[in-house]
Structure 1
Amino acid sequence: MVEGAHSHFHPLDRGDEQNRPISPNGAPEPGRLYEVPARCGRAVRLHAGQRLTIINTHGSQVCDFWAFATVDLCEFVSMAHFHAVASKLTPAVGDGLTSNRRRPLLTLMEDTSPGVHDTLIAACDTHRYEQLGARGYHENCSDNLRNALAAIGVRVPVVPAPFNIWMNTPPADDGSISWRVPVSRSGDRLVLRADADVIAVMSACPQDLVPINGEDQIPKSVAFRVDWP
């Protein structure tokens, strides 16, 4: 399915090295370390049982994460459904990442960081950057999702709210949200086991107008690899 018209969508430039897929269809070479360049996205196909390790190379970078069921792209990891099933805001080791059909598509197997992640904030988009005062086109996680999937010939019907790995935006008792620097460290990793065949997408968040990617507000790369157990 193709998402509806989006007047601000910055289409994939297939000549841009930054937007090149890991392979024509997103299939990974097991054990190989891949980079998600700063401000960019990558898509990877996972078979049930495979493990995806996402690495915070520099320690301060947020990674927006999505996963779609390969057999039906209308099924995807949904943070709202995770909240209902798990009765908590943030996944911890052993928790499944619940789909909008209320089954786990992946399970969190390892997290070497302090476990501070976000499941409330929507992916940044051009409208968000306009509100923050950006002029002209600004890279964003919503378009990174679309571009990463387009690079392997895939379209999805929606941009779901992502699992914002390492993002530190804690809600306060009064309901307000703070935009803080990550508490993760260089080399921290998060390991997800695929419980079904999925297409996972990671975006090295381009946010540079609030300090969620570190005090210097400079987006950086993250890395990932896929292994069999």
Structure 2
Amino acid sequence: MGNYPAAYQATENGALSVDRAFYDRLADATDGRELIEQFTVPIRSGRAWVVPAGHVCRLLTPEGPQVGDFNVWNLHDPRERMWAARTRQLQRAHVSTYDRIWSNLPFLRPLLTVVADSLADYGVDGDGGRVHDLLGTRCDPYVNRMLTGEDFDFHCHSNLTRAVLPYGLTEFDVHDVLNVFQCTGLNDEDRYFMKACPAQAGDYFEFFAETDLLCAMSTCPGGDLSVHMWGPDAGDPLEVCRPLAVEVHRVPGTLLDGWHEPPRAAYRNVHGMRMPNWGDDARGTRWQE
């Protein structure tokens, strides 16, 4: 594995810098938190929920290994949503503590920051696998039909679609995911692989909401991914499916001193175009730079 430098880098204390001490305080001060919402997502289903800005959300594996497919939007404008591809470039292909999930254009700002991860020490295994994956995307019934000739309505894309309907969103709003607790990598043929989830009962992934968020998560129908879903060795993973849990916590206000919601991208959105300046006479169009 080479050490060639990352393509996307910022100046010291620039846009990609993270105040680690601030996020460490949020992660460590668990005694002062107030639990405001808690629920379980049953197997092969999905759930959407709100995380207010300045709150912490914890995703858990309460009964053992299970993969979750996670989506996130700006609560007040769902056109702003997680941008998996740019996050891979600005952060990493597998995220952990201090990494951020960035939003799409023209917004381009951190929606959330990871503050705690019980699997942070997993690192890279002997097959090149890592956890909390942005490399792949959600399983879906369209690919399943293409690969198997069969319909199945409880893939992650469908679970997320059902989950967001109460919030006025549709299938068109479901987007590429963060595969929480999922272990993946690229093999020697540069092809995507998935391994059995290394999480155990009680493992967690925790993030801080940088703005008001609408979140959704599917409990993947592949369960812990120890059973292949496609190919010659495919089987029914039902026996390795387990629920996931979600907690939303309010943190003490004193911990948020100095924190501000990230602003939208500073670019002017001109894209090299000149705008008409009609002046006092619409018959004589002038152009402004």
In the alignment, is the contact (CA less than 8 A) between 2:74 and 2:213 conserved in 1? yes
Q: Residue 196 and residue 156 in structure 1: after superposition, are their counterparts in 2 closer, same or farther (change >3 A)?
A: farther
Higher strand share: 2
> How far apart are 1:213 and its partner, in Å?
9.0
1:6-28 deviations in whole A, cap 9, x for unaligned? xxxxxxxxxxxxxxxxxxxxxxx
| Match of residue 96 from structure 1 | 100
Aligned residues: 200
| Match of residue 107 from structure 1 | 113
Matches within 5 A, 1:57-206: 57-86=62-91, 88-100=92-104, 101-113=107-119, 114=122, 116-133=131-148, 135-155=150-170, 157-206=172-221
| Match of residue 226 from structure 1 | 248
The SS at the match of 2:215 is: strand
Fraction of identical pairs, as percent:
27
The structure, 1 or 2, with the larger RCO (C-alpha pairs under 8 Å, 6+ apart) is 1
> How far apart are 1:112 and its partner, in Å?
0.4
The SS at the match of 1:211 is: coil
Higher helix share: 2
Rounded Cα–Cα distance in structure 2 between residues aligned with 1:198 and 1:106: 9
In the alignment, is the contact (CA less than 8 A) between 2:133 and 2:179 conserved in 1? yes
Rounded Cα–Cα distance in structure 2 between residues aligned with 1:206 and 1:83: 25
> How far apart are 1:224 and its partner, in Å?
0.6
1:39-98 deviations in whole A, cap 9, x for unaligned? 001101111011111001222210000100112111111110102222x21112011111
User: Which consecutive residues of structure 1, in runs of 5 or more, have no partner in the other structure?
Assistant: 1-28
Q: Residue 92 and residue 210 in structure 1: after superposition, are their counterparts in 2 closer, same or farther (change >3 A)?
A: closer
Q: Residue 168 and residue 97 in structure 1: after superposition, are their counterparts in 2 closer, same or farther (change >3 A)?
A: same
The SS at the match of 2:80 is: coil
Tell which deviates more after alignment, 215-224 or 69-78.
215-224
Rounded Cα–Cα distance in structure 1 between residues aligned with 2:89 and 2:224: 32
In the alignment, is the contact (CA less than 8 A) between 1:169 and 1:180 conserved in 2? yes
- Letter aligned with residue 215 of structure 2: A
User: Which consecutive residues of structure 2, in runs of 5 or more, have no partner in the other structure?
Assistant: 1-33, 124-130, 230-234, 252-289
- Letter aligned with residue 202 of structure 1: M
Rounded Cα–Cα distance in structure 2 between residues aligned with 1:36 and 1:72: 25
Q: Residue 137 and residue 156 in structure 1: after superposition, are their counterparts in 2 closer, same or farther (change >3 A)?
A: closer
Q: Residue 60 and residue 131 in structure 1: after superposition, are their counterparts in 2 closer, same or farther (change >3 A)?
A: farther
Q: Residue 71 and residue 39 in structure 1: after superposition, are their counterparts in 2 closer, same or farther (change >3 A)?
A: same
In the alignment, is the contact (CA less than 8 A) between 2:53 and 2:210 conserved in 1? yes
Rounded Cα–Cα distance in structure 1 between residues aligned with 2:224 and 2:150: 12
